[in-house]
């Protein structure tokens, strides 16, 4: 009787200790700092590009670091308190233009046309798409 109580106690303790670990396995691991594909107010940019342009796995692997670099550069630009708002806006446009050109270089001609059309549509809505994406 004493051994069965001890065994039951050990099992209960093991279940208590293991429960948080088992629940943690259900959740996706958090992305490393700066590893986001730009999940901002406009959604997941890499996912959107993949769906809209039909990117291959190889293209996704090439474009992901470009988007990460763009987001880091835009964040650093926003946090630059030495620059005035107009200078920050101009620099942000340069950052977007440069990264759009890098992405365009990876795309097929058909994908480039879709990418450019998307930027045109964005500009018509009042966005500030890079001029090189016209």
Query: Can you tell me the distance from the alpha carbon of 93 to that of 85, in angstroms, rounded to the nearest whole number?
Result: 12
Residue 115 and residue 104 in contact, taking contact as beta carbons nearer than 8 Å: yes
Complete DSSP assignment for 58-107? HHHHHHHHHHHHHHHHHHHHHH-TTS-HHHHHHHHHHHHHHHHHHHHHHS
Residue 134 has pLDDT above 60, yes or no: no
User: pLDDT tens for residues 100-132?
Assistant: 999 999 999 999 999 999 878 777 776 554 444
Query: Can you tell me the distance from the alpha carbon of 51 to that of 34, in angstroms, rounded to the nearest whole number?
Result: 22
User: pLDDT tens for residues 61-84?
Assistant: 999 999 999 999 999 999 998 889
Q: Where are the domains of the chain?
A: 39-133
Q: Which of 61, 48, 15, 37 lies closest to 121 in space, CA to CA?
A: 48
Q: How far is CA 78 from CA 73, 96, 101, 114, in A?
A: 9, 13, 21, 29
pLDDT computed for residue 38 by the predictor: 45
User: pLDDT tens for residues 14-72?
Assistant: 555 555 554 554 444 444 444 444 455 445 889 999 999 999 999 999 999 999 999 99
Confidence of residue 89 (pLDDT cuts 50, 70, 90): very high
pLDDT computed for residue 4 by the predictor: 67
Residue length of the chain: 134
Residue 52 and residue 114 in contact, taking contact as beta carbons nearer than 8 Å: yes
pTM to 2 decimals? 0.61
């Amino acid at each position: 009787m004493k051994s069965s109580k001890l065994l039951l106690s050990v099992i209960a303790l093991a279940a208590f200790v293991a429960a948080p670990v088992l629940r943690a396995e259900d959740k996706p691991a958090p992305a490393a700092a700066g590893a986001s594909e730009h999940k901002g107010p406009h959604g997941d940019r890499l996912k959107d590009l993949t769906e809209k342009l039909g990117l291959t796995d190889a293209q996704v692997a090439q474009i992901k670091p470009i988007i990460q670099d763009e987001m880091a550069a835009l964040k650093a630009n926003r946090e630059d308190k030495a620059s005035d708002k107009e200078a920050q806006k101009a620099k942000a446009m340069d950052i977007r233009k440069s990264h759009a050109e890098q992405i365009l270089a990876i795309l097929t001609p058909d994908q480039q046309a879709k990418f450019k059309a998307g930027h045109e549509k964005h500009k018509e809505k009042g966005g500030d798409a890079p001029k090189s994406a016209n």
